[in-house]
A = this chain, B = another copy of it.
Amino acid sequence: MSQDTPWKILLEHVEAGDPVELEHYIGTLAPSERARTFARLDREAIDRIFELISPDQAAEIIQDLSDEQGAGLIEAMNHETAADVVEMLPINDQIDILNEISSDDATQAIIANLPLKDRKEVRQLLKYEEDTAGGIMNTAVLSYPENMKVGDVLDDLRENREQYGEYDIQYVYVVDRDGCLRGVLPLRTLVWTPRDTPVGKVMKGELTMVSVDADLDELLDLFETHEFLGIPVIDRKGRLAGVALRYEVMEAVGEREADNYLKSSGIVGGEELRSMPLLVRSKRRLSWLSINILLNIAAASVIAMYQDTVSAVIALAVFLPIISDMSGCSGNQAVAVSIREITLGISKPTDIINVILKESIVGLINGTVLGILLGGVAFLWKGNFYLGLVIGGALLFNTIIAVCIGGTIPLVLQKWGKDPALASGPILTTVTDMCGFLLTLGFATSLLSLIH
């Protein structure tokens, strides 16, 4: 059995049906191995496994997986089992997982099966947008009233240390009667303060805090200017709601980057894993492809207008796809730089003219090099200097157009409140294809007698 993959061994344990053996085997798998193994299981096997193991163990498995994969498993369970498992997760993971479940009905059904006390909190937290302070924050924070004594706080921490196990108690917060945030106390300050001092006296009162509605950029800005490991988050009434932790913010930034990449490659509507149902995957990909094919047909209709020219100089048919593809490549480089600069906060919609200036020079240099190369190939192949001139010239001009458009589209889309990562690519390739075909075939038509 030594050659068997964990996936097969796991299935054997499921067949055998011994929960203890099964739990033990799953426990021996490294997290990445576990993720891989569960990704290969079908719905039936997943059902069987989660019937056998305890919700506790199930929750532990889910925590080790990515949110998307975890949500996929939860969705595959019946709602009661799902709720039992979700209940075992830390509140933050509960929210992350529930946010990833694709069917709203399923989410509501799972929440309806949670214990009453959890239900309210979960519903409240799900209201916050994913990439806001409210969506990112950790609600496991400790707060004490202003007039409480330092000694009593320390005693509370000591007595409840089991229960506070999952809390990050490097800081405790001080609140007034209405729950409004007044100050913060690092644990180390508590340690070297006389026990009978009220916490309100030693707390740090001028506090950096952030609203539940603050977006990821705002959080990132704060963490970049301050050394804090966490920033308290207050709700719309000024009450302490949670704490945004540096590492959670960094994780959210990482996810946004991953998202940019996926969207720019045409993976839309959330992350895709191959363990997801076939039709979901197919439908999501098609939604993107069908827009692209329409744009492509529109762009290629330019060629249809110039059929006579193509038919007179059939070599043009060889170069049209090259010019289309190379302009797309050049333009996409500019798109990627702009999206990155937007993410880093270096570029804003008002920089469009500056971007065009900077890109057009790069486009001129690269277009010249590429134009000479491709024009040279055309010349050498057909022995016609003017054909080389048409092909090289078209590629040069189209490269300049492509980088200027590629560099500015993301800024324009952002200004219009559209997602640059999602829409830049298709718009870019449509415009550059059209221009490329027009330039090549237009030049060729006007020089037809020379290249024929």
Contact = CB atoms under 8 A, between A and B. Distances in A.
Contacts of A326: 289, 292-293, 296
A307 B311 CA distance: 10
A381 B336 CA distance: 37
A36 B333 CA distance: 20
A1 interface: no
Interface in A297-337: 297, 299-301, 303-304, 307, 310-311, 314-322, 324-326, 328-330, 332-333, 335-337
Contact of A330 (B258, B285, B325): B285
B265 A336 contact: yes
Contact of A293 (B166, B265, B290, B370): B370
Nearest to A325: B296
A328 B102 CA distance: 28
Contacts of A335: 265
A403 B336 CA distance: 23
Contact of A329 (B63, B292, B345, B437): B292
Contacts of A328: 325
A316 B310 CA distance: 11
Interface in A208-248: 217, 221, 224-225, 227, 229, 245-248
A56 interface: no
A203 B105 CA distance: 49
A170 B69 CA distance: 33
Nearest to A344: B66
Contacts of A271: 340
29 contacts: A5-B350, A31-B224, A69-B346, A187-B188, A248-B250, A250-B250, A251-B253, A254-B256, A261-B261, A265-B336, A266-B333, A267-B337, A273-B341, A274-B354, A274-B358, A274-B359, A278-B361, A278-B362, A282-B361, A288-B329, A289-B326, A289-B329, A289-B370, A292-B325, A292-B329, A293-B370, A297-B377, A303-B317, A316-B317
Interface of A: 5, 30-32, 35-36, 39-40, 63-64, 66, 69, 154, 157-158, 161, 166, 168-170, 187-188, 190-192, 217, 221, 224-225, 227, 229, 245-251, 253-258, 260-262, 264-267, 271-275, 278, 281-282, 285-286, 288-290, 292-293, 296-297, 299-301, 303-304, 307, 310-311, 314-322, 324-326, 328-330, 332-333, 335-337, 339-341, 343-348, 350-351, 354-355, 358-359, 361-362, 365-366, 369-370, 373-374, 377, 381, 429, 433, 437
